[in-house]
Structure 1
Amino acid sequence: MSFLHIQSSQQLTDETSHSLNSKLNFVQIQSIDLKPYKQKWRLLFTNVPSPKNLESIYYELQGQSIEDCESKEMILLQCILLNMRAPIDLKLNEQQWIHISELMPTHKSPFEWSQICHQFIHQSAYNNPWSESEDKQLLDIILHYQSMRKGNKWSKIARELNEQSLNKNIRTPKQCRERWGNKLDPSINRDEWTDIEDLHLLQLLLQHGRKWAELSIRLSPLTNNKKRTEFSLKHRFKKLISNSNSIDSRQIQGTKYSISSDWNNKEINKLLFKISQLEIQTKQREVENFYYHPLTKQIKLNNLTKIVIIKGRSKVELDLSILFNSTNSELNN
Structure 2
Amino acid sequence: MTSSLSAWIWSEWFWLPENVTWADLEHPPPGVEYPRVGHILCALPLALCVLILRLIFERLVAKPCARILQIQAGVSRQAQPNAVLERVYKSMTCPDSRQLEGLSKQLDWDVRKIQRWFRLRRNQDRPSTLTKFCESMWRFTFYLGIFIYAIRHLWLSLCHSIPKPLSPGQYNYYVAELAFYWSLMFSQFTDNKRKDFIIMLVHHLATITLITFSYANNMLRAGTLVMCVHDASDIFLEAAKMANYAKYQRLCDGLFVVFSIIFFLTRLVIYPFCVLFESWEIVGPYQSWWLLNGLLLVLQALHVIWFYLITRIAVKAIFRGKVGLFLYLLCYSRSSIQYNCHPHHCFIFTGVKG
Normalised by the size of structure 2, how large is the TM-score? 0.24
Normalised by the size of structure 1, how large is the TM-score? 0.25
- Give 1 or 2: higher helix fraction: 2
Higher-Rg member (1/2): 1
Structure ranking higher on relative contact order (CA contacts 8 Å, 6+ apart): 2
